[in-house]
Structure 1
């Protein structure tokens, strides 16, 4: 690597390369060494820009959330919050293991903070107090992350396995509800969950 090549490297370039690795190979494959190899530089050069792997993951997570688009949002606070969460989920789904990446970080960075601020503003616009809005924000984010992480991890064999296990055991409540626990989509579960949280 020449000095000129090293001087052109930026944190944004490192994060973009790490996101490409994420999409190609999954979250477990994202290491500072792998990013350095993809960039054709020494690992210390990457670390100079992003400090450590934990910070790299935070910056990646913030970049994913930063893909949320804010144009054309509804005026109504509840509907605005609902649409923001839909866009958040789409941003997570746009990257392999996107939800697992964001779940595993605590990114106090511009993309993440802008999204949280927009949702909280929508909730307070509909009449929630700052306290109620904050708690609803937590519930919405945790629900969306958990559901989307499961959606990205599930395999086609998981639902039949669950169905068989419930029927084979002594789970009367689950057996009664089984038609409602299987055979629906993650999109339907997401919409229902938003309706329950937002009213």
Structure 2
């Protein structure tokens, strides 16, 4: 049997998850822009056609990378909390932590629409929690997508920060053209933990209010 890299020694067939984890490691070291199919093949010591037998294109690879990332969310979440609001918040924080643990994690997951086990299990778990709030199936679906989009957006903002945001804001507010912005504690714009927690409180309060509304 020939190897997937080419010469003579037998080798375990390459699995999609193995490729995805290697790709995530490459992104961790060089950013998402550095990831190419050719570089990935070299890292795995396989020929490029081997990758294309597993993935039709780079988007299919990104889908598998997203699936691999999302598979770790539930292990981080404390779903034994007393109330559905606390469980929703715990799942949202676990998703945030998972994405932040991976360089460009939000960019990897954003825009992918995988229908694989980890992604669907995460969605099903969120819907089960929201079902405890006695939301209709439709409202639970919209609530789940709203929460997911909020987490994704916040992580995208945080991972895109370069460290100079406060200085840029300072230069903008000091000339007096934006008095309402200047009157806020604008330095806290980059306090990502605090603003994330605030957003989760707002979202769960809105869901509580939605529960009280008539269908």
Tell me whether the two structures share a fold, i.e. TM-score over 0.5.
yes
Task: Please state how far the C-alpha of 1:149 moved relative to its aligned partner.
Answer: 0.9
Residue 50 of structure 2 aligns with which residue? 45
Q: Secondary structure at the match of 1:8?
A: coil
**Superimposed CA distance per residue, residues 152-190 of structure 1 (whole angstroms, 9 cap, x where no aligned partner):** 11022112112211333522322222x156366211111
Kindly tell me: are residues 87 and 158 of structure 1, through their superposed partners in 2, closer, same or farther at Cα, counting changes over 3 Å? same
How far apart are the structure 1 equivalents of 2:91 and 2:108?
19
Greater relative contact order (Cα < 8 A, sep 6+) = 1
Correspondence 1:93-104 to 2 at 5 A: 93-104=100-111
Correspondence 1:19-30 to 2 at 5 A: 19-30=24-35
Residue 188 of structure 1 aligns with which residue? 194
Q: Greater Rg, structure 1 or structure 2?
A: 2
**Superimposed CA distance per residue, residues 68-115 of structure 1 (whole angstroms, 9 cap, x where no aligned partner):** 135741242111111001100111011000011111322222111111
Contact between 2:62 and 2:108, CA under 8 Å: does it hold in 1? yes
Correspondence 1:49-64 to 2 at 5 A: 49-64=54-69
Correspondence 1:61-76 to 2 at 5 A: 61-70=66-75, 72-73=78-79, 74-76=81-83
Name the count of aligned residue pairs: 198
Q: Does 1:107 align with 2:114?
A: yes
TM-score by length of 1: 0.91
TM-score by length of 2: 0.85
1:9 counterpart (3, 11, 14): 14
How far apart are the structure 2 equivalents of 1:139 and 1:4?
50
How far apart are the structure 2 equivalents of 1:175 and 1:126?
39
How far apart are the structure 1 equivalents of 2:72 and 2:48?
27
Task: Please state how far the C-alpha of 1:123 moved relative to its aligned partner.
Answer: 1.1
